[in-house]
């Protein structure tokens, strides 16, 4: 009984402890991006020594960014995305996404980018609620996500409105 009370006391004491102050992030530099033909940089990731970007209006190109003369020059790396998997998003949201893609381009609406230690890049599609893996060779494949992912997200209040889908992705670098 004493151990239980001691454990509860330690837990309760920790709940009232002051949180540690975090250092505020500071902007180190900013650079204009040139030669990104699709425009609209929407995802950025440092993968090893390379800085990569993705555009939400370009469904077939990743961009490696090179620092040159006070700007970032985008060097396109084309890839071919296979037909995306069926979307579990509701019909109305899929139709709004489709209509927007006709106006602005980018039917896959890539929003986030991450990578692993093997050099694979992972792009998250907002309009499809799906993840595309692009290998260093440029071959691409859609990952199999858990079947209940969209349902669980919607039950939690996410993925309910236009332009409020998946916006980023994080991948454990070791795979």
In the chain, what are the domain boundaries? 36-175
Q: Is the pLDDT of residue 175 over 80?
A: no
| CATH, domain range 36-175 | 2.40.10.500
Per the prediction, the chain carries an average pLDDT of: 79
Q: What is the pLDDT, as a whole number, of residue 4?
A: 45
Average pLDDT over residues 43-72: 91
- Cα–Cα distance for residue pair 129/79, rounded to 1 Å: 19
Average pLDDT over residues 118-129: 86
Of 8-17, 115-124, 152-161, where does mean pLDDT reach its minimum? Answer: 8-17
Average pLDDT over residues 71-96: 82
Average pLDDT over residues 106-120: 86
Give the pair of three-digit tokens for residue 42.
Answer: 């929407």
120: confidence class by pLDDT, cuts 50, 70, 90:
very high
Q: What angle do CA 72, 121, 28 make, to 5 degrees?
A: 35
Find out whether 107 and 127 touch, Cβ atoms under 8 Å.
yes
Q: What is the pLDDT, as a whole number, of residue 5?
A: 44
This prediction has a pTM of 0.75
Q: Is the pLDDT of residue 8 over 60?
A: no
Average pLDDT over residues 51-75: 91
Q: Is the pLDDT of residue 18 over 60?
A: yes
Find out whether 163 and 151 touch, Cβ atoms under 8 Å.
no
Find out whether 133 and 140 touch, Cβ atoms under 8 Å.
yes
């Amino acid at each position: 009984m004493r151990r239980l009370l001691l454990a509860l006391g330690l837990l309760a004491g920790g709940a009232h402890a002051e949180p540690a102050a975090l250092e505020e992030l500071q902007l180190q530099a900013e650079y204009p991006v040139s030669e990104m033909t699709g425009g609209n940089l929407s995802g950025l990731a440092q993968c090893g020594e390379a800085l990569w970007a993705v555009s939400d209006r370009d469904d077939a190109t990743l961009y490696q960014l090179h620092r040159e003369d006070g700007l970032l020059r985008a060097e396109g790396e084309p890839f071919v995305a296979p037909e995306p998997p069926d979307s579990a998003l509701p019909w109305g949201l899929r139709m709004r996404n489709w209509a927007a893609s006709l106006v602005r381009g980018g039917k896959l609406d890539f929003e986030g980018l991450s990578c692993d230690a093997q050099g694979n890049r992972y792009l998250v599609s907002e309009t499809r609620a799906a993840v595309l893996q692009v290998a260093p060779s440029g071959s691409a494949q859609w990952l199999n996500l858990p079947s209940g992912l969209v349902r669980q997200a919607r039950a939690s209040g996410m993925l309910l409105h236009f332009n409020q889908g998946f916006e980023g992705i994080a991948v454990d670098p070791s795979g």
